[in-house]
Structure 1
Amino acid sequence: MFKGVNSPVITILKDDGTIDYANMEQHMNHLVEAGLNGLLFLGSLGEFYAFSDAERRALIDCAVKTIAGRTQVVIGVGNTAEDEVVRLAAYAAEAGADALNIVSPYYFGLPAAAAVDYFERIANAVELPIMLYNFPDRTGSDLSPEIVREIAQRCPTITGIKDTVDNISHTRRICQAVKPVRPDFSVLSGFDEYYIVNRISGGDGVLCGLTNVVPELFVKMHSAYENGDIAAAVKCAEQIAGLMRIYAVTPLFITGMKAAVRAAGLPISTYTRAPGTVLTEAEDREIRAILADRTVS
């Protein structure tokens, strides 16, 4: 269900911290028109952890209305409270979203059996297809290939995973564990520079932050790979490798990604809710310099 190049959309805020819906709509339209395969709202890059329930619901409504069926809309409904996950999932379904993205329980990590039970309960309680979200650097626990295989076998409506692990062998092992028992199960990498190696490993693509900045570059890479033009795909991948430096410029990468979107041409505020910090002039210059030199890795 989840294929190609997908974007975890930033949540654009005004300087006063409220959601900037005008620029959000413009940004969404750009991503759709660039040809991305799907858009995720309220993921990590979308600052899901920082918004009230009312703000999340309003953003879901805006996203579904703006996208209007032109590409896949996935809603992040992760929460530390299971009933809140189910409630927001029900709202997303009613609003017209296509699928859900659910991060593993965080703060206290779950052992393997409890993780499987957790996702099975949610799958039985919600209407939409589910993409697992594995981000052990943030959750403190890992959805191992063995756990993902068990979930995939027990839960037919769980149809994919975003594997945000900076080790492609982890993603490869998920593909090798799950694809034989669930060929329809999608495996996406959460790191931008892993597109080609993800595909070689049997995966289905990426769901990654730089698609906010250079969506056309990702679409070009995906199209080249699909058409067997590996040399062209590699040239795009080389540029993406250089752009990966943006993630390290600011203390919280979300702020840096907003600065990169602004540098790419959308006149937005780079305000990020706590624990984000204020973008400095030096950081802004560095990000602009990285964007100006896309071939250096």
Structure 2
Amino acid sequence: MSNTLDLKGIIPPVVTLLNRDKTIDEPAMKQHINELIESGVDGLFFLGTGGEFAQVPIHLRKQTAEIAVRETAGRVPVLIGTGTAGYEETKELSLHAQHAGADALVIINPYYWNVSEDHLFSYYQSLADSVTLPIVLYNFPGATGQDLTPDFTVRLASGIPSIIGIKETVDEAGHIREMIIKTKEVRPEFKVFSGFDDHLLNTLTLGGDGAISAGVNFAPELQVGIYNAYLQKDFETAVHLHRKLAYIPLMYKLDTPFVNVIKEAMLIRGKAIQPHVFGPGETLTDKTRGELKDLLAKAGLLSSAVR
């Protein structure tokens, strides 16, 4: 079982860049992948929430996974999100990601149903038995309607060795704290990543391993800077950058789904992309775009020329 992957640090959930006709903009994807790697990230996660996984048709999910592995070319670990609302498609996408050459899978718990813990354990056990790749759990109760509690995650971590970590997309430091303490008591090597940008620093101070959060797409210098400063015990710099990072969750509140905000922020900061998103999202209005510029400026992420 290939479960020894040592994930850590900053692993952005990469946006899925599109042409106007909702095909994959492969040249823009390649450029973005290379720019993220050059910015110092520690891995790349494709087809998460920031990658619009729930809206991307399955054939495009497979194409994105193939582009991701091919362009990254082993420079950093590639994680592919393969979760769906049900088992069969999740297994299909997981086997495809493995065949494509991914380094790990990120699998959100099934949404729509509130699944019993016994069924949920069997779900992950069956997926783990079907692939040889390590699996990172994806806990996003605000979207799925069901929390992967620390106690249940301990059960998964204890019973399924190929489950190596969790992405904690919860806006509660207490939940993250308990997740770190309880999982690392049974498996010290188990990885806990914050899913919201502004929980990176407290996750690190509590003994967690980094962040898998979307703001890195347009402001990698903040989270990469915080992580590196923390490792170097330069806490003054870490706190300074953390206060800038605090504006990013305010940006996400400008619209729902907020992937359009991420893409527009990339565009405003000079990325050569198109801001198209899959439905039910739409591109930002001029008014909201202006509000986004104001927040980017407050976070120190705009030059005076762009303002």
TM-score (norm. length: structure 1): 0.96
Q: Distance in 2 between matches of 1:23 and 1:116?
A: 38
Given that 2:167 and 2:212 are in contact with CA atoms closer than 8 Å, whether structure 1 keeps it comes out as: yes
Is 2:115 the partner of 1:110?
Answer: yes
Q: Which residue matches 1:57?
A: 62
Aligned residue pairs total 296
Given that 1:99 and 1:130 are in contact with CA atoms closer than 8 Å, whether structure 2 keeps it comes out as: yes
Query: CA offset at residue 267 of structure 1?
Result: 2.8
| TM-align CA RMSD | 1.3
Query: CA offset at residue 295 of structure 1?
Result: 5.5
Query: CA offset at residue 2 of structure 1?
Result: 2.3
SS in 2 for 1:291: helix
Is 2:44 the partner of 1:39?
Answer: yes
Is 2:203 the partner of 1:192?
Answer: no
Given that 2:45 and 2:79 are in contact with CA atoms closer than 8 Å, whether structure 1 keeps it comes out as: yes
Q: Which residue matches 2:141?
A: 136
Is 2:237 the partner of 1:232?
Answer: yes
Question: Pairwise mapping of residues 1-297 of structure 1 onto structure 2 (< 5 A)?
Answer: 1-294=6-299
Q: Distance in 2 between matches of 1:200 and 1:47?
A: 30
Query: CA offset at residue 199 of structure 1?
Result: 1.2
SS in 2 for 1:132: strand
The amino acid that maps onto 2:178 is R
Given that 2:200 and 2:223 are in contact with CA atoms closer than 8 Å, whether structure 1 keeps it comes out as: no
Query: CA offset at residue 105 of structure 1?
Result: 0.8
Q: 1:192-219: per-residue Cα shift (whole Å, max 9, x none)?
A: 0011110122211110010001112211
Q: Which residue matches 2:304?
A: none
The amino acid that maps onto 1:212 is N
SS in 1 for 2:54: helix
Given that 1:90 and 1:127 are in contact with CA atoms closer than 8 Å, whether structure 2 keeps it comes out as: no
Query: CA offset at residue 55 of structure 1?
Result: 1.1
Name structure 1 gaps, 5 residues minimum.
none
Given that 1:34 and 1:215 are in contact with CA atoms closer than 8 Å, whether structure 2 keeps it comes out as: yes
Q: Distance in 1 between matches of 2:110 and 2:213?
A: 21
Given that 1:160 and 1:187 are in contact with CA atoms closer than 8 Å, whether structure 2 keeps it comes out as: yes
Query: CA offset at residue 288 of structure 1?
Result: 1.7
Q: Distance in 1 between matches of 2:116 and 2:205?
A: 30
Cα distance change, pair 251–258 in 1 and its aligned pair in 2 (3 A) = same
The amino acid that maps onto 1:293 is K
Identity over aligned pairs, percent: 38
Q: Distance in 1 between matches of 2:106 and 2:10?
A: 16
SS in 2 for 1:49: coil
Given that 1:242 and 1:295 are in contact with CA atoms closer than 8 Å, whether structure 2 keeps it comes out as: no
Q: 1:136-172: per-residue Cα shift (whole Å, max 9, x none)?
A: 1111111001100000000110000001111111111
Query: CA offset at residue 81 of structure 1?
Result: 2.4
Q: Distance in 2 between matches of 1:144 and 1:295?
A: 36
Query: CA offset at residue 237 of structure 1?
Result: 0.6
Name structure 2 gaps, 5 residues minimum.
1-5, 302-307
The amino acid that maps onto 2:243 is E
Given that 1:239 and 1:295 are in contact with CA atoms closer than 8 Å, whether structure 2 keeps it comes out as: yes
